[in-house]
Chain A
Amino acid sequence: MNRTAFAALLSHWRYRPLQLVTLIVGVALATALWSGVQAINAEARASYDRAAAVLQQNRFDQIVARNSDRISPETYVKLRRAGWNVSPVIEGDYRFGQVKIRLIGIDPLSMPTEGQAVAVSNASELVDFVGPPGQLMVSAATAARLKDIEGLRLKVDADLPDGAAFVDIAVADRMLNHKGELSRIVVAGSQRPDLEPIGTIAPELVIRNAGERPNVARLTDSFHLNLTAFGFLAFVVGLFIVYSATGLSFEQRRSTFRTLRSLGVSLRSLTVMLLIETIGFAILSGAIGVVLGYFVASALLPGVAATLHGLYGASVPGALSLRPEWWLAGLAIALVGTALASAQHLWRVWKMPLLAAAQQRAWARASTKSLTAQAALGTLLLFVCGLLILFGEGLYSGFAVLASLLLGSTLILPPVLAAVMALGQKASRHVLLQWFWADTRQQLPGLSLALMALLLALSANVGVGTMVSSFRQTFRGWLDQRLAAEVYVTARDESEAERLRRWLPDHADAVLPIWSAEGEVAGQQMQIFGVVDHPTYRNHWPLILGSPGTWDAVASGHGALVNEQLWRSGKTALGQEIELPGGWKVKVEGVFSDYGNPAGQVIVGMDALVRHYPDIPKLRYGVRIDPAQVPDFRRKLTDQFGLPDSNIIDQASLKQQSAAIFEQTFAVTAALNLLTLIVAGFAMFSSLLTLSSLRLPQLAPVWAMGLRRRDLAFVEIARTLALWLATFLVSVPVGLALAWILLTIINVEAFGWRLPLILFPLDWLKLGIIALIAAIVSVAIPIRRLARTAPADLLKVFANER
């Protein structure tokens, strides 16, 4: 009997195939976007771990200097003599022309086998690796970027991450000018048991434990959290579709439920059947969603990889690998999502009296109560949002602010619309207008979820669009200030740099060396730049905080500028002294904006920099000349030094490159924005389509009283457009609030910089037009269907033998 009853339940979908498609597509889209984003995150994180294992040998304990200094060769010898099984590493950034790579010098003989990372397993490979003139082992992508490698041999190893090169430690020492001093020491897994502790042998050293999360993984956390938030938003929007479709299917089958129960099917059996049906759909659509998610992730991953590289220098492959755990997680999220979306409906079936009747208006009236509760909950969430803005701290609090704003506004939308419609009905004098408002209010319960989904998508578009546009405008202004030099020149080696330093002053208005050291400041690894005392900096450098004496203090060597990220981290303050690598101290005299840099940065006077770090590379220079002279200057420079084009970059090209990186960075955001909007459009379409099948009994009496089908279709279009317009109008202030939160809370917590909120009404207009087109598309099929309804079908509504 249960089999027969189950077949009767399922027969609903045979008669309503479109509803079935809606349900499956809803779950599939929700799963696709969520699992796609998760796949990207998983791929990136796996890549960081791989890179850390290869580049930093982080599977092993590491010995580093307590004050982030280098380790002397004598200390290393002491450790070896004490019986420690350790291996030295010299590493640092090195420029081959314009290409900067991470150079890692290892000793293949003492490095533990698992940490070798490069194939030097046999004698001939070993000889090639350590023998003169030196061998660079790089990935294929890095090899393609390296043009002039200063006479070294190049060997490609497919397993190596991009942007790094392994060399013999002696070669690294020579290239990085370390004078035998080590960057760190790798501790092998197997050690003698009775070893003297490191702290006794060399008190200046500390052990960093194996398995620490890679720096880049920590740096990129906020980026991945942003992606996850977007994926979650799309998932929620998708669930709205599922909730709507399952709700409708349950509502339409009330009479079937009643009949089955009156024929002896127990409530328990009925609930179990509905559960099986729900789980079956979840698994089917989840599987489709995971496959779709794979394509979404594959399409987005190259953009994400470019963003991660541009923002953090992190290397992530542009291709996706399939992981079983990802498939399982995708199916699980589909199940959880469907369960969440169906729980309330199943509960209603469980509580439904045997003789309950399905009535449209009763449904609407019952929802008046829930509208009031919804409005109260929405208001409470907005209140929580306000409290969190005032008192919350940290990135997670920022996301809680975002979530409460979006959820609160979304919940309030249907009650607000219902109130507007009630007012509209009261204010209307014409009977058709009164009916229009009343009828629209009646449709609201069926459309509210789609409208809420639409509000989420539109608000996200307005908010993220405003954030990106504000960022773009600020960034361009900032680039104009910061890239003040007309030409940037990079010497290929120190001797060429010395010749340049002699030649440039006679051919330029001013020469601004761009020299930097790297080290730990306030517990963070960062760069310390030097600046010469020149009006270019005094007039152009984008200072957020400072005083008239700031530049004098920097030039004197006693003062320093810190970037916004370092300042906002709370580790430095204006007027505070900070200790720089090597133990010297400077006072913070100003703060400068430094967009796009994930790390802290310090600027000191050039004389002080060179005095404290005499061995820093002195290869790069900014050159001030009359812009009209740039082509001539380039030609002379090429003639004189034979410098390749890549070593002479003019301001315009650099700005163009920076702007391109910026646009690439937000390409993924734009894509996710668009996908969310598409999902919301589909939610609206599916709601209208399913509602249209319920509309005939409501429209037929009006038709019988003298309205044409065309008039009714026009009213339906007007209703849809009015609802879209109202939702769009609400989405603008919600989106602006979202942008404000992104700019002043999330960005500060995630990236360390704060941006001004700039309004772009034309962008809203564009979004409004896109929304309008989507509205017309979503209403087109239902309206076409209505306009083509045969009079015979309308008459069926009045038939006595229905």
Chain B
Amino acid sequence: MILSLSDITKSYRTAEGEIPVLRGASLILARGESLALTGESGSGKSTLLHLAGGLERPDSGTILVNGRDITKLDDVGRANFRRTDVGVIFQQFNLIPSLDVAANVSFHARLAGRFDPLWEAELVDALGIGQLLRRYPEQLSGGQQQRVAIGRTLAARPPVILADEPTGNLDESTADAVLTIMLQLTKSAGIALLLVTHSNRLADKLDRRITLSGGKVAA
């Protein structure tokens, strides 16, 4: 088991009062496994992903990554955790606009101290972004940007990757192609993948799927 979330609760304070988003959600992800997390809009999928990625703290519950409870980590610990133990892919790609594609791809790996030029070359080749290395993010199409973002995360070889609707901005065929590459590469590297998606078609491509409803895992 690489990732385990137990009885996670999380609420947000708004002008209308406190809104509970997660009410005791739990899930387990094995090493090298791919898991689809589905659910309606507002069901708490992204929140769950952010908590698993150490981007936010839960109100209660435990989150174990590689056997370590990240809810007990302070700010420094969580920053180190994000740097070395997890990779997050967002729907909006969130590349660094001031760096070219090559620098973007190697950025996280260098930050984590795991830069491997051979592995990176392999990724670039597999993702088909070899011709784009000197370009800047805004010169790329959505599909190209997402492939760069996947490349950036995979280059760091984190034990677990959390992807928040990574193909949400892409057309169907591009989305299929991107997900296929992502699954191949995570499998070959033994990386676990937790993927949030609205698409049943994409969810079916993963090893397992769970649905979030009313702040809890339904099935």
Contact = CB atoms under 8 A, between A and B. Distances in A.
Interface stretch (B32-40, B107-115, B176-184, B209-217): B107-115
B94 A706 contact: no
A705 B97 contact: no
Interface stretch (A249-257, A432-440, A672-680): A432-440
A147 B202 CA distance: 103
Given A792-B56, A798-B90, A698 B97 contact: yes
Interface stretch (B23-31, B59-67, B73-81, B124-132): B73-81
A442 B76 CA distance: 28
Among A430, A698, A708, the one with the most B-chain Cβ atoms within 10 Å of its Cβ is: A708
B96 A701 contact: yes
A421 B96 CA distance: 17
A361 interface: yes
Contacts of A711: 79
A702 B50 CA distance: 15
A792 B107 CA distance: 24
A795 B83 contact: no
A361 B138 contact: yes
Nearest to A709: B75
Nearest to A699: B96
A792 B10 CA distance: 13
B92 A705 contact: no
Contacts of A432: 111
Contacts of B90: 704, 798
A157 B120 CA distance: 92
A665 to B, nearest CB: 50
Nearest to B106: A431
A791 B96 contact: no
A704 B98 contact: no
A365 interface: yes
B79 A704 contact: no
A704 B88 contact: yes
B82 interface: yes
A435 B99 contact: yes
A801 interface: yes
A708 B99 contact: no
Contact of A698 (B80, B98, B106, B111): B98
B92 A802 contact: yes
Contact of B138 (A359, A702, A792): A359
A704 B168 contact: no
Interface in A358-381: 359-362, 364-365
Interface residues of A, number: 38
Interface string A641-676: 000000000000000000000000000000000000
A706 B96 contact: no
B82 A705 contact: yes
A4 to B, nearest CB: 27
Contacts of B81: 706
A795 B96 CA distance: 16
A700 B92 CA distance: 12
Contact of B95 (A701, A797, A800): A701
Interface string A754-776: 00000000000000000000000
A429 to B, nearest CB: 10
A361 B79 contact: no
Interface in A578-624: none
A295 to B, nearest CB: 43
A697 B137 CA distance: 13
B98 A441 contact: yes
A706 B91 contact: no
B141 interface: no
A156 B74 CA distance: 81
Contacts of B76: 708
Contact of A434 (B12, B56, B103, B137): B103
A711 B82 CA distance: 14
Contacts of A441: 98
B212 to A, nearest CB: 15
Nearest to B49: A798
A801 B82 contact: no
Interface string A702-720: 1011111111000000000
Contacts of A701: 94-96
B46 interface: yes
B136 A365 contact: yes
A435 B92 CA distance: 20
Interface string B193-210: 000000000000000000
Contact of B136 (A361, A706, A710, A802): A361
B41 interface: yes
Given A700-B94, A801-B41, A707 B164 contact: no
B46 A704 contact: no
A390 interface: no
B92 A438 contact: no
Interface string B116-157: 000000000000000000001110000000000000000000
Nearest to A363: B138
A2 B44 CA distance: 42
Contacts of A195: none
Nearest to A439: B98
A800 B168 contact: yes
A435 B95 CA distance: 12
B53 interface: yes
A360 B136 CA distance: 11
Contact of A431 (B95, B110, B164): B110
B55 interface: yes
Contacts of A365: 136
Contacts of A435: 96, 98-99, 103, 107
Given A361-B137, A434-B103, A797 B111 contact: no
Contacts of B112: 706
B97 to A, nearest CB: 4
A356 interface: no
B36 to A, nearest CB: 16
Among B56, B83, B99, B106, the one with the most A-chain Cβ atoms within 10 Å of its Cβ is: B99
Contacts of A710: 75
Nearest to A799: B46
Contacts of A794: 55
B142 to A, nearest CB: 13
B84 interface: yes
Contacts of A442: 97-98
Contacts of B94: 697, 700-701, 704, 797-798
Contacts of B46: 798-800
B38 to A, nearest CB: 14
Given A361-B137, A431-B107, A798 B84 contact: no
B111 A706 contact: yes
Among A432, A441, A798, the one with the most B-chain Cβ atoms within 10 Å of its Cβ is: A798
A428 to B, nearest CB: 11
Nearest to B56: A791
A795 B164 CA distance: 12
Contacts of B164: 798, 800
A698 B95 CA distance: 8
B98 A707 contact: no
A506 B79 CA distance: 92
Nearest to A701: B94
A708 B106 contact: no
A791 B112 CA distance: 21
A131 to B, nearest CB: 89
Given A431-B103, A439-B96, A799-B46, 7 more contacts: A360-B138, A432-B111, A435-B107, A438-B96, A442-B97, A705-B111, A710-B75
20 contacts: A359-B97, A360-B138, A361-B97, A361-B136, A438-B96, A438-B99, A438-B103, A439-B96, A701-B96, A702-B96, A704-B94, A705-B111, A706-B81, A706-B84, A708-B76, A710-B75, A711-B79, A798-B88, A798-B90, A798-B164
Interface of A: 359-362, 364-365, 430-432, 434-435, 438-439, 441-442, 697-698, 700-702, 704-711, 791-792, 794-795, 797-802
Top 10 A-B residue pairs of the complex, sorted by shortest distance between their CB atoms: A706-B83, A431-B110, A442-B98, A438-B98, A706-B82, A701-B94, A798-B90, A361-B97, A708-B79, A359-B138
